[in-house]
């Protein structure tokens, strides 16, 4: 039995392609794995706080040294990290904004990439602390960024997500891109159909 963390980062509702695709993935997953459990986080509609100076001071000191202000600042991060570490598998839907991730997802990463909790650092360097987890990342993007084309370099979303989750130890990441959504109805329909197919395959593969 696996526990899944399902997260949507689009601030849109029913019009969101990434949100629609992740919802379908979870429905298919539950049909195939009825005993698995799911925690849902709607980052798009309920963003997490930005980190601030008391947060940083707390993240780099021992809990018994926290001032009341620092304890309050780090509390949401503790809850988000606990939630993140409790999952075996992640299904994150993340639109491309300005060739990268939306600010709400960056704020989430700043809360969960925590020294001593999701990575460690010592004289030998940095080490990820999150192991044996699988991640499916669903993106929705107006343009297309195929390898071997000039626009490939504009995709700062995929390499950044690979890097940051690799940094904390997550290396099994599947990307499903719904691309070219701004290129007319036919291109949009095809992109969504292809993404749906890829996600069904991902569910079947477990």
Ligand X SMILES: Cc1cc2nc3c(=O)[nH]c(=O)nc-3n(C[C@H](O)[C@H](O)[C@H](O)COP(=O)(O)O)c2cc1C
Q: Return residues touching ligand X (CB under 6 A).
A: 10, 12, 16-19, 95-99, 140-143, 181
In the complex with ligand X, the residue whose CB is nearer, 107 or 129, is: 107
The minimum distance between CB 19 and ligand X, in angstroms, equals 5
Residues 6+ apart with CB under 8 A from 53: none
The minimum distance between CB 145 and ligand X, in angstroms, equals 7
Cβ–Cβ under 8 Å, residues 139 and 94? yes
Residues 6+ apart with CB under 8 A from 103: 97
d(C-alpha 20, C-alpha 159), whole Å:
24
In the complex with ligand X, the residue whose CB is nearer, 19 or 134, is: 19
The minimum distance between CB 22 and ligand X, in angstroms, equals 9
Cβ–Cβ under 8 Å, residues 203 and 142? no
d(C-alpha 24, C-alpha 139), whole Å:
14
d(C-alpha 66, C-alpha 163), whole Å:
31
CA distances from 183 to 8, 21, 56, 187 (A): 23, 19, 43, 6
In the complex with ligand X, the residue whose CB is nearer, 95 or 199, is: 95
The minimum distance between CB 97 and ligand X, in angstroms, equals 4
In the complex with ligand X, the residue whose CB is nearer, 55 or 145, is: 145
The minimum distance between CB 95 and ligand X, in angstroms, equals 3
In the complex with ligand X, the residue whose CB is nearer, 73 or 181, is: 181
């Amino acid at each position: 039995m696996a526990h899944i963390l399902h997260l949507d980062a689009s601030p849109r509702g029913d019009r969101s392609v990434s949100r629609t695709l992740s919802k379908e993935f979870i429905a298919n997953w539950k049909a195939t794995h009825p005993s698995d459990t799911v925690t849902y986080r709607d980052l798009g509609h309920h963003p997490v706080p930005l980190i601030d100076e008391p947060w940083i001071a707390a993240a780099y000191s021992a809990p018994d040294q926290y001032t009341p202000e620092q304890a309050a600042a780090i509390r949401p991060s503790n809850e988000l990290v606990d939630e993140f570490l409790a999952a075996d598998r992640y299904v994150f839907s993340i639109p491309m904004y300005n060739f990268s991730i939306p600010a709400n997802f960056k704020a989430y990463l700043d809360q969960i990439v925590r020294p001593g909790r999701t990575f460690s650092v010592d004289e030998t360097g940095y080490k990820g602390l999150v192991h044996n987890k699988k991640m499916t990342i669903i993106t929705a993007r107006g343009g297309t960024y195929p390898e071997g084309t000039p626009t490939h370099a504009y995709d700062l979303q995929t390499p950044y997500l690979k890097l940051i989750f690799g940094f904390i130890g997550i290396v099994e990441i599947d990307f499903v891109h719904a691309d070219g959504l701004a290129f007319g109805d036919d291109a949009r329909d095809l992109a969504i159909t292809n993404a749906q197919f890829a996600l069904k395959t991902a569910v079947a593969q477990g």
